[in-house]
Amino acid sequence: MDAISVIRTKRDRGELTAEQIDWVIDAYTRGEVADEQMSALAMAILLNGMNRTEIARWTAAMIASGERMNFRALSRPTSDKHSTGGVGDKITLPLAPLVAACGAAVPQLSGRGLGHTGGTLDKLESIPGWRALLSNEEMLHVLDSTGAVICAAGDGLAPADKKLYALRDVTGTVEAIPLIASSIMSKKIAEGTGSLVLDVKVGTGAFMKTIEDARELASTMVALGTDNGVKTVALLTDMSTPLGLTAGNALEVRESVEVLAGGGPADVVELTLALAREMLDAAGIKDADPAKALADGSAMDVWRRMIAAQGGAPDAPLPIAREKHVVTAPSSGVLTRLDAYDIGIAAWRLGAGRARKEDPVQAGAGVELHAKPGEMVTAGRPLLTLHTDTPSRFDYALESLKAAYDIAPAGTEFTPNPIVLDRIA
């Protein structure tokens, strides 16, 4: 077996055999296939696609590159959630303890932000003392004692995917749907969860810009999960507008705690409850009411125990950026558009995100929204507040906001997009 013949097969629109896939994933993980060769293969997959058989085998080969976990020793059924990423997407933070409060165990392996999309681990690391890196034993202990854990995937879980993702990120091949689907599902299947709910974002601030692409990705991932014995469903959700009223690490933690306290923005609460119901149903828990668990404080109790179990101080003050800049509304009227991508880029430029995985982030940086589409704004009143420790970043962030919003005359009718656009099972 050799890399060139594998590349040529996919370059010429052929179907890769199981033997070719197994060999190339194993050889790349071991360093026998060079980065430039795998880059060529990834580009051929981007351009020519893969069928279901190829995607399933590719995913299986990445799972086989590392260890597999299982949670059979737990007394609760397990359910996990994965989001394809967005702006202000803080849903994991209230969702994991909420579902745990309703009787499921939530082993949430999460990632960091890159570019304009935020990362769950970056958000939680703004809590003093909180640790993302846990051993398998620590992860199981936190999960067993609190019902939920949010942490980074260990190096032993699908190492082929970790290496390939880094390569795709710098070779313009991230968009390949077969590679996205196998990347996400190899980690989730290897993780060992019994059920999985996928939140596939659609819109300007999402990875999938069109409903058609999002539906293709969701259907592919649902099939992969199902074929591997993981009960999997997907919700397609709107990401044309940021979720909630904040985009940034500590800012989003604050907002998540508000949701757990029974308040918070309506869209964050709505999506949190929708995903919670799907996760509980997939786990076979039919009689729990997640809305009640938010209202009676039981979800907050799990949050506090989970944060403390990972070394965090749930009552400690969160970081606040040293500098602020207020963007005022240029006219009065109805806010009809607030672009998620532009807001995400502004937050990234303020220091909330990173251009490379090794870059640091500012815990307090980000964008605070004072209105959402459909609401009235007044000329000269705050529309956005920018937060950063580095005031020289303000001008760069403001450039991305020049066309980020539209204001229509008072009385203009406005119909918002529904948050949940479709369900695939």
User: With 80 as the cut, is the pLDDT of residue 402 above it?
Assistant: yes
Q: What is the pLDDT of residues 59-97, one digit of tens each?
A: 999 999 999 998 988 999 999 999 999 999 999 999 999
Residue of 90, 116, 163, 187 marked catalytic: 187
Q: What is the pLDDT of residues 162-215, one digit of tens each?
A: 899 888 878 888 889 999 999 999 999 999 999 999 999 999 999 899 999 999
Q: Is 82 a catalytic residue?
A: yes
Residue of 10, 57, 81, 82 marked catalytic: 82
Is CATH 3.40.1030.10 what the domain over 80-309 is classified as, yes or no? yes
Task: Count other C-beta atoms under 10 Å from residue 238's C-beta.
Answer: 22
More confident residue, 345 or 169: 345
What is the pTM (predicted TM-score) of this model?
0.93
Banded model confidence at residue 357, pLDDT cuts 50, 70, 90: low
Residue of 39, 83, 110, 183 marked catalytic: 183
Assign domain 323-408 one CATH number from 3.40.50.620, 3.10.130.10, 3.90.1170.30, 3.40.50.2300: 3.90.1170.30
Residue of 123, 168, 305, 349 marked catalytic: 168
- In terms of Cβ atoms closer than 10 Å to its own Cβ (0-12, 13-18, 19+), residue 235 is buried
Q: What is the pLDDT of residues 103-160, one digit of tens each?
A: 999 999 998 887 788 899 999 999 999 999 999 999 999 999 999 999 998 888 899 9
Q: Is 227 a catalytic residue?
A: no
User: With 80 as the cut, is the pLDDT of residue 424 above it?
Assistant: yes
The gap from C-alpha 257 to its chain's centroid, in whole angstroms, comes to 18
Q: What is the pLDDT of residues 281-317, one digit of tens each?
A: 999 999 999 999 999 999 999 999 999 999 999 999 9
The gap from C-alpha 166 to its chain's centroid, in whole angstroms, comes to 17
CATH number of 3-49: 1.20.970.10
- Host H or E run for residue 149: strand 148-152
Q: Is 144 a catalytic residue?
A: no
Q: What is the pLDDT of residues 261-283, one digit of tens each?
A: 999 999 999 999 999 999 999 99
The gap from C-alpha 159 to its chain's centroid, in whole angstroms, comes to 19
If you average pLDDT over residues 331-348, what whole number do you get?
97
Q: Is 168 a catalytic residue?
A: yes
pLDDT at 117: 86
Q: Is 183 a catalytic residue?
A: yes
Q: Where in the chain is the domain with CATH 3.90.1170.30?
A: 323-408
The Cβ-side half-sphere exposure at 375, using a 13 Å CA radius, reads 12
Task: Count other C-beta atoms under 10 Å from residue 254's C-beta.
Answer: 17
Residue of 80, 89, 122, 161 marked catalytic: 161
- Host H or E run for residue 81: strand 80-83
User: With 90 as the cut, is the pLDDT of residue 403 above it?
Assistant: yes
Q: Where in the chain is the domain with CATH 3.40.1030.10?
A: 80-309
pLDDT above 70: percentage of residues in the chain: 100
Torsion sign, CA atoms 156, 160, 162, 163 = positive
Mean residue pLDDT across the chain? 95
